[in-house]
Amino acid sequence: MNHYTLQNLTEMPSRHRANLINSCTGYKSCNLIATKGKNQITNVAIFNSIVHIGSNPPMLGFILRPTTVPRNTYRNLKESGFFTVNQVQQDIIADAHHTSAKYDESISEFDKTNLDPVYLDNFYAPYVKGSPIQLGCKYVNEYFIKENDTILIIGAIEHIYLNEDIIHPDGWVQLDKAKTVSCIGLDGYALPKLLERFQYAKPDQETKSLHIEPKNKDS
């Protein structure tokens, strides 16, 4: 087994270190964040840092890299107060990855890919058409992380759109049925497969399976 010390990591070429650190922490969520500025120009960008913050009230968070260079997502959500989170499905991974390219703020990534914006229920920010799980979010707060000059953005989830056939009776969403992908590091994409689901763990009680197939409405 290879062993890397902090000194080893510090002395590595920057790209090699970034690949190692970003991938060794495990699979990450893979989402497209879409926004629209006051100038009506849309932006869509891939993020692998979206995390659950809470369910009551429903909130999520994500990390923005240092704003020492223009960050169109950040500018747009601060201007408008809204953004959408759209899970990446296996058929759009190439276009989703391309949104990480650094285009000028006057250019929308929707115009440079086969991704299409779609507007639902008069929400200001666009969703990504065809994404199997779409969340409409309102900007709530941000926290500066002084250790590396990044920003944790907190958003309130105001809308959720997803297909009925991936929802179990207790509200649990089976992501592998939606064929949503996970990120490995900055440039790898994987299609996870559900292995098992267990009931809430209690001391000194046997761990029992909860895995059942969701029933179709017509069955």
**46, two tokens:** 């891939």
DSSP secondary structure code for residue 124 in this structure = S
SS3 call for 74: helix
- The structure tokens listed for 51 are 């995390």
Nearest to 164 by CA among 218, 219, 217, 211: 217
Alpha helices in the chain (DSSP H): 6-11, 14-24, 72-80, 93-98, 175-178
pLDDT-based confidence at residue 219 (cuts at 50, 70, 90): very low
- Cα–Cα distance measured from residue 210 to residue 161, given in angstroms and rounded to the nearest whole number: 24
Rounded Cα distance between 214 and 85, Å, is 24
Cα–Cα distance measured from residue 178 to residue 183, given in angstroms and rounded to the nearest whole number: 16
Whole-number pLDDT of residue 178 = 93
Nearest to 43 by CA among 101, 123, 93, 92: 101
3-class secondary structure, 69: coil
pLDDT (tens digit per residue) in 140-163: 999 999 999 999 999 999 999 999
Task: Give the pLDDT confidence score for residue 68 in this predicted structure.
Answer: 65
Neighbouring C-beta atoms of residue 186, cutoff 10 Å: 15
Q: How many angstroms separate the Cα of 11 from the Cα of each of 15, 18, 22?
A: 11, 12, 17
Q: Which of these, 63, 34, 49, 36, lies nearest to 183 by C-alpha position? A: 49
Tokens of 83: 């953004």
The rounded distance, in Å, linking the Cα atoms of 52 and 26 is 16
Angle 183-184-190 from CA coordinates, rounded to 5°: 60
pLDDT at 27 over 90: yes
Distance CA 158, CA 121 (A): 11
Q: Does residue 44 surpass a pLDDT of 60?
A: yes
pLDDT at position 212: 64
pLDDT of residue 113: 96
What digits encode the pLDDT tens for the residues 63-122? 998 866 668 999 999 999 999 999 999 999 999 999 999 898 899 999 999 999 999 999
Q: What domains, with CATH codes, occur in the chain?
A: 26-190 (2.30.110.10)
CA 181, CA 92: separation in Å to the nearest integer? 10
Query: Mean pLDDT throughout 30-59?
Result: 96
